């Protein structure tokens, strides 16, 4: 159903208020260590973890949810290594 709404241009009202430029990858020691871990993987695969993090943040914003950015970016990167 969600894909059909997107195809028809029917976005949730809250989507107009999502500013992707405001999302910043955490700069903690934990997050930097996680980002360094998949360095041997192809850039396209590394990019997947950042897209996962970005879309997850956007969905949380749409839902009005607050999440731990540090844990979420580490989880998005760690999923590539499993």
- What pLDDT does 48 receive? 85
Measured between its terminal Cα atoms, the distance across the chain in Å is 31
Q: How far apart are CA 14 and CA 19, in angstroms?
A: 11
Q: Is the residue at 37 inside a domain?
A: yes
pLDDT band at 82 (very low <50, low <70, confident <90, very high): low
Q: Is the residue at 53 inside a domain?
A: yes
> pLDDT digit string (tens) for 22-64?
888 888 898 888 877 777 788 888 888 888 888 888 888 888 8
Q: How far apart are CA 45 and CA 58, in angstroms?
A: 20
Q: Is the residue at 49 inside a domain?
A: yes
pTM: 0.68
Domain count within the chain: 1
Q: What range defines the domain where residue 30 resides?
A: 14-81
Q: Is the residue at 6 inside a domain?
A: no
Kindly state the percentage of the chain with pLDDT values over 90: 2
- What pLDDT does 60 receive? 87
The residue to which tokens 């999923």 are assigned: 79
Q: How far apart are CA 37 and CA 73, in angstroms?
A: 12
Q: Is the residue at 71 inside a domain?
A: yes
């Amino acid at each position: 159903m969600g894909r059909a709404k997107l195809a028809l241009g029917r976005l949730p009202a809250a989507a107009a208020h999502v500013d992707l430029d405001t999302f910043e990858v955490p700069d903690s020691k934990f997050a930097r260590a996680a980002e360094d871990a998949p360095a041997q993987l192809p850039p396209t695969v590394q990019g997947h973890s950042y897209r996962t993090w970005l879309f997850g943040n956007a969905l949380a914003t749409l839902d009005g949810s607050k999440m731990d950015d540090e844990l979420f970016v580490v989880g998005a990167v760690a999923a590539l290594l499993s």
